[in-house]
Amino acid sequence: MLSNLIDNAIRYTPSGHSVTVRVDFSHHQALAILEVEDNGPGIPANEREHIFERFYRILGSNVQGSGLGLAIVREIAQQHGAKLELLDNPHPEDPQFPGCLFRIAFRLNPYDELIDEVIRYG
């Protein structure tokens, strides 16, 4: 999943622009958050609902690929009960390349902490 997101970001990000991968944790919401942010051409609003479909390719992108990468990302996220979002890049470097931010939020098992406490204190 992560490999597909990074590969996709690199393919669509022009030379000299950046791809950022970050991992975060929200203790309050019990979420582990994975983000891949790029400074590529972005994805038009009317294309966003389709990019996770198998074999879907945005016309005129001139980028090599099968159109399966983001469909695989969605499938893996669903299998893990994660929430997958496509957002605008909040840190665009160039107005011509607004970029994207793919965010995957994984729910953490609330019982993991309890199990650790039981093991630690018997």
* Confidence (pLDDT) at 38: 92
| 43 Cβ contact list (under 8 Å, min separation 6) | 51, 58, 86, 100
Residue 108 has pLDDT above 70, yes or no: yes
- CATH code at 99? 3.30.565.10
Q: In the prediction, which pLDDT does 53 show? A: 73
Q: Is the model's pLDDT at 66 over the cut of 70?
A: no
Q: In this predicted model, which residue has the larger pLDDT, 109 or 103?
A: 103
Looking at the structure of the chain, the number of domains it has is 1
Task: Extract the tokens encoding 35.
Answer: 């983000």
Please state the pTM of the whole predicted model. 0.78
Say what the pLDDT of residue 51 is.
Answer: 75
**Residues 19-48 pLDDT 10s:** 999 999 988 888 999 999 999 888 888 877
pLDDT digits (tens, 9 = 90+) for 79-107: 988 999 999 888 887 888 888 999 999 98
| Enclosing domain of residue 19 | 2-121
Residue 82 CA: distances (Å) to CA of 61, 63, 91, 96: 28, 28, 24, 31
Q: What integer is the mean pLDDT of 2-22?
A: 91
Nearest in space to 36 (alpha carbons), one of 52, 14, 21: 21
Q: How far is CA 4 from CA 42, 65, 70, in A?
A: 17, 11, 7
